[in-house]
Amino acid sequence: MTEAPLRWYHHLYVGLQYLLPHHLLARPVYGLTRVRWRPLKDLLIRVFARHFRVDLREALSPDPASYAHFNAFFTRELRPGARPIAGPESALISPADGVLSQVGDIGDGRIFQAKGRDYALLELLGGDGERAASFQGGRFATIYLSPRDYHRVHMPLAGRLREMVHVPGRLFSVNPVTTRLVPRLFARNERVLCLFEGPVGPMAVILVGAIFVGGIETVWHGEVTPRRDLLTAVRYDEPAVRLDKGAELGRFNMGSTVILLFPPGKVSWDAHRLPGSKVRMGDRLGALIG
């Protein structure tokens, strides 16, 4: 897929992001998206749905006025059957709706971000060598969720949760232009690492925050961000948290990116799943090997 050339205004747009107080800006947006005053919240939902051409026919509640606040609309539940889970059992599925921005191998401890850009697996995983060692030489996929997409994240494979880690960072935009221009973007932004053990051994589902994203939630913990403390790791041994393939894992309160990591020799990507292709939660991305 040929990328459009970058223009001067793209560089200006990204340059301004370096100057913005990312987390300070996220706080009023966080509050605004939870306003329950009907005239304001209905206006926000209508304007957003019209501008981004949101298809509410798939929603469990297709009536925009039925949502308590904008964030409830943004993280709306889909009607049963709207996202069938691809078979067979060995299929690896997309955890979210969006665009498969990159997919491939983790070579020399580096993950491809965009042309001329990559970042370190070790840095992405919070600087922990033991975590990174599990995925050296493995495979990754990066899925970008646009504002119009369904914003709940689901399990690509069944797994048992072993650890959750909150890694503080910036909140740059994660749209395609910013991804092409900001070095080490996904290793710089705030993120939540969800580390599982499953049929392939270790598996990571990483929820990356972005500009104006004031919250990331998981189904077992609730709201993880926003928070202002240092890196925090939580182990989950007993009671165990087990999630089936396709089960909801968490959600973005505003949009962002999901990164999947797998160990070497365990999964293969389907040949037609190329960077830039659209995916929906439940679509097959690849399969287990062996």
pLDDT tens-digit readout, 131-157: 999 999 999 999 999 989 999 999 999
Q: Number of structural domains, the chain?
A: 2
Burial-class residue 125 by CB neighbours within 10 Å (0-12, 13-18, 19+): buried
Domain final residue pick, 45, 74, 103: 74
**Beta-ladder partners of 278:** 99
Does residue 83 lie in a domain region?
A: no
> Which residues, listed in sequence order, are joined to residue 93 by a DSSP beta bridge?
284
Query: Do both 70 and 102 map to the same domain?
Result: no
61 and 108 part of one domain: no
In DSSP terms, which residues pair with 99 in a beta bridge? Answer: 144, 278
* Same domain, residue pair 107 and 153: yes
Span between the terminal Cα atoms of the chain, in Å: 31
Query: Does 145 share its domain with 111?
Result: yes
Among 157, 144, 238, smallest CA distance to 194 is for 157
86 within a domain of the structure (yes/no)? no
Q: Do 53 and 100 sit in the same domain of this protein?
A: no
Per the structure, the complete domain to which residue 215 belongs is given by 91-288
Do 123 and 160 belong together in one domain? Answer: yes
**Is 186 in the same domain as 234?**
yes
pLDDT of 174: 92
CB-based contacts of 108, cutoff 8 Å, min separation 6: none
Helix or strand (DSSP H, E) at 17: helix 8-19
Domain shared by 65 and 114, yes or no: no
Element (H, E) at 114: strand 110-114
Phi and psi torsions of 51, nearest 5° = -65, -45
Question: CA-to-CA distance for 199 and 178, rounded, in angstroms?
Answer: 35
Domain ends where: 46, 74, 102?
74
Q: How far is CA 52 from CA 30, 56, 77, 132, 209, in A?
A: 20, 11, 18, 37, 20
Q: Does 125 reside within a domain?
A: yes
Residues 190 and 144 in one domain: yes
Q: Count the Cβ atoms, other than its own, within 10 Å of residue 190.
A: 25
- Low-confidence residues in the chain, pLDDT < 50: none
What is the pLDDT at residue 237?
A: 85
110 and 13 in one domain? no
The verdict on residue 148 lying in a domain is yes
Residue 50 domain-assigned (yes or no): yes
- Return the active site residues: 97, 154, 256
Q: Are 33 and 74 in contact (CB under 8 A)?
A: yes
Same domain, 195 and 275: yes
Please identify which residue in the block is written with the tokens 């959600």.
Answer: 251
Tell me what pLDDT residue 228 has: 56
Say if 81 falls within a structural domain. Answer: no
pLDDT single digits (tens) 194-217? 999 999 999 999 999 988 766 899
Looking at residue 227, its pLDDT comes to 65
Domain assignment of residue 2, yes or no: no
Cα 205 from Cα 164, distance rounded (Å)? 10
Look up the pTM and report it: 0.95
Phi and psi torsions of 27, nearest 5°: -65, -50
User: What is Dmax (Cα atoms) for the chain?
Assistant: 56
Q: Do 212 and 115 sit in the same domain of this protein? A: yes
How many angstroms separate the CA atoms of 244 and 241, rounded? 10
Does residue 101 lie within any of the structural domains?
A: yes
Strands 98-105 and 139-144: antiparallel
